[in-house]
Amino acid sequence: MEKQIILEGIDPLEFYGVNNVKFNLIKNFFPKIKITARGHSIYLQGEEKELENFENKFGYILDHYYQFNILTEEFISQIMVSNFDGIAGSDEEPDILVYSNTGKPIRARTPNQRILVEESKDHDLLFAIGPAGTGKTYTAIAIAVKALKNREIKRIILSRPAVEAGERLGFLPGDLKEKIDPYLQPLYDALLDMIPAKKLEEFIKDGTIQIAPLAFMRGRTLSNAYVILDEAQNTTINQLKMFLTRMGMNAKFIITGDVTQIDLPDHQQSGLLLAMRLLKDIEGISMVMFDNRDIVRHKLVRDIVNAYDRYSEEKEKIKERRKEERIRQAEIKNEQT
């Protein structure tokens, strides 16, 4: 019998090994089968029973690679000499979302990150609101990557409103991609922690992962996808309404934002603030509020955020005192009249 196995989204050097050392190790365990690799395809020739045994073992190897992004000779040998159902590591800690490219587990690290993970299981639309450095976007992307690896969805779509560049991006040098890429770089960086560069490049080329400014979402219906809108505090009311109404079948949306860092012109109201007020009581929508205790960057970031919070509170107090003084002066004037 002859069979062909298509390998999707692999890094050939990592999967086959230098000078095909890992691939040759696999072949050595199946001397009765002719095994040939050509790029992302493996061709098999042999007896039906032998091919069936190979496919079972090779399936465990593929599952392990897609889950952990690495493949070692030790694991290959372990799979080939073992008789068990399931892949190694299936009894892993349940809070692990995905594994980084170095094999390090990525998990929710703070109470509100864990709440976001739990809420994502039962809600199709989530808002993750809080200050910088709390891991809102990173955790959201990890949730989406896990869903993609588990084949729960077919695509990941990441977006940001390009507010600082005025949506038109005209004054930046280069073509459209070169103008947009620097602004979307934080989203690329998070993905590169969780998906090997070559695989990520393939996903972007075939549309499995899409990264684009919010303006590019208009007119689309987003189905069978995890869709993440980052920096949503910088959306206008119409922009966020447009984005929310893109939701199609089997889609999950996560919207992240920091309402203390709105960069919109003074005359424009943040769409995020209005959406939080209008949608907070709708069933199926969850709002997870992050705070300073969730900050996982340098320890000084928490102190910086706290300092700015105190400044904002003091400004509000001054504003309130001035308002009260104006009311009091108006009352005195009325009495005198």
Q: Stretch 83-104: mean pLDDT, rounded?
A: 61
Q: Which of 97-101, 107-111, 165-169, 254-258 has the lowest average pLDDT? A: 165-169
Q: Stretch 63-76: mean pLDDT, rounded?
A: 77
Q: According to the model, what pLDDT value does residue 298 have?
A: 65
pLDDT tens-place string over residues 132-159: 888 999 999 999 999 998 889 999 999 9
Q: According to the model, what pLDDT value does residue 83 have?
A: 58
> With left for phi above 0 and alpha for psi between -120 and 50, is residue 108 left, alpha or beta?
beta
Tell me the pLDDT of the chain averaged across its residues. 83
Q: According to the model, what pLDDT value does residue 178 have?
A: 54
Residue 70 and residue 196: Cα distance in Å, rounded? 9
Q: Is pLDDT above 80 for 70?
A: no
Overall size of the chain counted in residues:
337
% of the chain residues with pLDDT over 90: 36
Encode burial over 14-33: b for 16+ CB neighbours within 10 A, e otherwise. bbbbeeeebbeebbebbeeb
| More confidently predicted of 315 and 226 | 226
Residue 212 and residue 235: Cα distance in Å, rounded? 14
pLDDT tens-place string over residues 171-221: 445 544 554 566 778 888 889 888 888 888 889 899 999 988 888 888 888
What predicted TM-score, i.e. pTM, was given to this entire model? 0.65
Q: Is pLDDT above 50 for 91?
A: no
Residue 239 and residue 275: Cα distance in Å, rounded? 11
